């Protein structure tokens, strides 16, 4: 069964990594595709959110689980999306009708796009900060921590936080003989700007160890197709917002299979290291 958690936005949809007011509100119009009451989440195929993001299929948390009472897949809704600095949620949901559930033409992310735990991570034509081809299969035999970011992201609690977390994980891995095989991978969501030379400079500012921490880019089509496999989308939003994207960080085992993934920015380096330690070490 596809787990809604594989695609969750929650905090991540607030990742409009440009200038952001403390609190913003947007009207959302769309259709409920799936409800996860245990996680207080609803998957919505929505129209363009004016001034914020284009039409796509996205899951959202609700600030009050009671908002899901009486709701079901197929309901047509109008909702209020509240976006704070590092949080986003639906504060109202009003059913306006009902229709059969189907994939909408405007959807950019669907359940079939997203890897489930245990799935083999596919290769895409990505290159590292040195311009060398770096498909994920090149890291087989290594446990991998993978995240998404972009170098021009100015909001400290989004992409820069992912960088800081990975720098801390790198320090932990360096100190642990049992984690010596671990490799870190940061994939840019802004490939037009983040060419290898830009990523190489960015890696240097972070103290990334060559051969341990890779920064990947590629053509926009390849990068965004790869990101979608992890439930990540990125679109240019309103000029005042910049690049709109959600945050996902994954742990991949030495056989190249997805073990688990974190959504948003609430995870800690210690939690990620713990998941890497749980993964089976590669055969020697």
pLDDT at 274: 95
Does pLDDT of 12 surpass 50?
no
Mean pLDDT of 31-42: 86
Mean pLDDT of 126-133: 97
pLDDT at 155: 67
The mean predicted confidence, pLDDT, of the chain is 84
The more confident residue out of 98 and 243 is 98
Distance CA 147, CA 230 (A): 9
Residues of each domain in the chain carrying CATH 3.40.30.10: 111-278
**Of the listed ranges 30-39, 100-109, 138-147, the one predicted with least confidence:** 100-109
pLDDT at 108: 53
Q: Which of 105-109, 173-177, 277-281 has the highest mean pLDDT?
A: 173-177
Q: What is the CATH number of domain 4-98?
A: 2.40.50.320
To the nearest 10°, the Cα dihedral for 96, 101, 107, 111? 130
Looking at the domain covering 111-278, what would its CATH class be?
alpha beta
- 3-state SS, residue 275: helix
Does pLDDT of 5 surpass 60?
no
Distance CA 30, CA 49 (A): 10
Q: In which order are the strands placed within the sheet that holds 75-84? A: 56-61, 41-46, 23-36, 75-84, 88-98
Tens-digit pLDDT profile for residues 140-158: 999 999 999 999 876 677 8
Mean pLDDT of 27-39: 89
Helices (H) and strands (E) counted in the chain, each on its own, are 4, 12
Q: Rounded to 5, what percent of the chain is helix, strand, coil?
A: 25, 30, 45
- Cβ contact 76:99 at 8 Å: yes
Mean pLDDT of 117-144: 95
Percent of the chain at pLDDT > 70 equals 82
Confidence of residue 94 (pLDDT cuts 50, 70, 90): very high
Mean pLDDT of 119-124: 94
DSSP state of 209: P
- Cβ contact 211:129 at 8 Å: no
Percent of the chain at pLDDT > 90 equals 56
pLDDT at 6: 34
The more confident residue out of 15 and 4 is 15
Tens-digit pLDDT profile for residues 40-72: 888 888 888 887 766 776 778 899 999 999 999
Tens-digit pLDDT profile for residues 158-175: 888 999 999 999 999 999
Does pLDDT of 238 surpass 60?
no
- 3-state SS, residue 30: strand
Does pLDDT of 137 surpass 90?
yes
Residues of each domain in the chain carrying CATH 2.40.50.320: 4-98
């Amino acid at each position: 069964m596809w787990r809604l958690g594989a695609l969750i936005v929650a905090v991540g949809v607030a990742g409009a990594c440009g200038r952001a007011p403390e609190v913003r509100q947007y009207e959302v119009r769309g259709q409920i595709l799936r409800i996860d009451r245990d996680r207080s989440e609803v998957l919505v195929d929505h129209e363009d959110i004016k001034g914020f993001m284009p039409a796509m299929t996205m899951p959202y948390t609700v600030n009050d689980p009671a908002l899901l009472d009486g709701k079901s897949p197929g309901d047509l809704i109008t909702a209020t999306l509240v976006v704070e600095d590092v949080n986003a949620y639906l504060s109202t949901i009003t059913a306006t009708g009902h229709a059969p559930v189907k994939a909408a033409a405007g959807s950019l992310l669907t359940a079939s796009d997203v890897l489930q735990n245990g799935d083999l991570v596919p290769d895409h034509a990505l290159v590292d900060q040195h311009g060398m081809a770096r498909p994920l299969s090149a890291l087989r035999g290594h446990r991998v921590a993978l995240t998404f970011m972009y170098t021009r992201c100015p909001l400290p609690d989004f992409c820069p936080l992912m960088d800081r977390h990975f720098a801390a994980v790198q320090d932990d891995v360096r100190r642990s003989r049992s984690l010596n095989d671990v490799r870190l991978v940061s994939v840019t969501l802004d490939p037009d700007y983040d060419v290898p030379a830009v990523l190489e400079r960015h890696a240097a500012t972070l103290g990334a160890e060559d051969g341990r921490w890779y920064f990947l880019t590629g053509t926009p089509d390849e990068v965004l197709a790869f990101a979608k496999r992890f439930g990540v989308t990125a679109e240019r939003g309103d000029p005042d917002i910049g690049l709109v994207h959600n945050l996902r960080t994954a742990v991949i085992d030495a056989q190249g299979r997805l073990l688990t993934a974190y959504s948003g920015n609430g995870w800690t380096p210690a939690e990620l290291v713990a998941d890497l330690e749980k993964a089976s070490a590669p055969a020697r």
